Amino acid sequence: MEDLTQTLRWNFRVRMSRLVSVLFWLCALSPVCAAGTIRFAPLPMASLEHMTREYLPFLDYLEKQTGQTFELAYHASYETLLDALSAGQVDLAYLGPLPYVALTERSHNMQPVVQFLDAQGESNYTCALVHFADQPLTLIHPDRIQRFALTQPLSTCGYLMVEAYLQAQGESLENEQHEYTYVGSHEDVALKVILGQYDVGGLKTQIAQRYHHLGLRVIDETPPMPGFVLVANTDTLDSAITDQIRMALLELKPLENPSDAEVVRGWSANLKYGAIRVDEGLFDPVRQQWRQLKVDLVGAGQ
């Protein structure tokens, strides 16, 4: 009898173990269950280790303010991040204006939460077209191809900005007289132009100015464009939680209040200067340029 009882207990434990395993995977695949942990994904701008250090203090703050659990969802490329958002595998994301526009052009379940400020308290930025000081700028070289250094395909200051400038001059990156390469970061663009590996580059004006003393010169600058935004996936994130996150960030005034500045001291520089509400109309010029592109930048250069 005792042996039979032990056998029944063993069979029960095995079945319960299998049931728990099945429920775990069903829950992991369900947006309803997955909402227990809010998955936050920043733009892929560094290694996983670096981004973990940069963004975990921010997520810790949101956990304290909302009572929710957050985790960092790392994606190595813009394309995989946008795919994950569209598939409901990411609940909250930090995006630049072009990735945000590209995402909302393919998905209608994305809601901007806040727009972040920079160290000067500005909510926008500009892009610059640059070349090296001792190299004369001519769009068409008679004896060789003009080489352009670009950041990642979905970087606002990359293909989109450079192509808009060239089209205004009656040119295009797709013309046979031009050649372009996605070299990586804005800093990579600056250095490769300075070293003469490329004739022209596109990058943030703020970063271009850091290399002025090394001979980098701005050819042209875009009008102000909206800064980076926090975006919520409305299919997977409850609107009440989104409102909590928005208010928790809008209440912080780190550029004005020393106690708030202490709260954000360990945050990424991308997030630590405060936030404002999002004006969707500011993205219209970027959206218009996106729709006029003759190439598909999603997945390009990866």
Q: What is the pLDDT of residues 141-170, one digit of tens each?
A: 656 789 999 998 988 999 999 999 999 888
Give the span between the Cα atoms of 47 and 45, in whole angstroms. Answer: 7
Contact 103, 110 (CB under 8 A): yes
Q: Which run of H or E residues covers position 72? A: strand 69-72
* Distance in Å from the first CA to the final CA of the chain: 65
User: What structural domains does the chain harbor?
Assistant: 36-123+226-292 (3.40.190.10), 129-222 (3.40.190.10)
Tell me what the mean pLDDT of segment 38-57 comes to: 83
Asked whether residue 217 carries a pLDDT value surpassing 60, the answer given is yes
Asked whether residue 25 carries a pLDDT value surpassing 70, the answer given is no
Write down the pLDDT at residue 54: 86
**pLDDT band, very low/low/confident/very high, at 134 (cuts 50, 70, 90):** confident
Contact 57, 40 (CB under 8 A): no
Write down the pLDDT at residue 14: 38
What is the full DSSP assignment across 257-301? -HHHHHHTTTS-TTTTT-EE---GGGGHHHHHHHHH-SS--TTTT
Q: What pairing do the DSSP bridges indicate for beta strands 124-125 and 225-226? A: antiparallel
Sign of CA dihedral 281, 285, 288, 294: negative
Least confident range of 34-38, 88-92, 110-114, 216-220: 34-38
87 alpha carbon, distance to own chain's centre: 17
Report the alpha-carbon angle 31-35-40, nearest 5: 105
Tell me what the mean pLDDT of segment 118-126 comes to: 92
Contact 232, 110 (CB under 8 A): yes
Write down the pLDDT at residue 13: 44
Tell me what the mean pLDDT of segment 85-101 comes to: 93
Write down the pLDDT at residue 115: 97
Asked whether residue 196 carries a pLDDT value surpassing 50, the answer given is yes
Write down the pLDDT at residue 299: 64
Write down the pLDDT at residue 292: 87
Tell me what the mean pLDDT of segment 249-259 comes to: 97
Write down the pLDDT at residue 46: 61
The number of CA neighbours under 13 Å toward the Cβ of 168 is: 9
pTM for the complete prediction? 0.78
Write down the pLDDT at residue 198: 95
Asked whether residue 10 carries a pLDDT value surpassing 50, the answer given is no
130 alpha carbon, distance to own chain's centre: 23
Kindly give the interhelix angle for 284-292 and 97-106, rounded to the nearest 10 degrees.
70
Asked whether residue 16 carries a pLDDT value surpassing 50, the answer given is no
Asked whether residue 22 carries a pLDDT value surpassing 50, the answer given is no
Give the span between the Cα atoms of 113 and 165, in whole angstroms. Answer: 31
Q: Which residue has the higher pLDDT, 253 or 14?
A: 253
Give the max Cα distance, the chain. Answer: 97
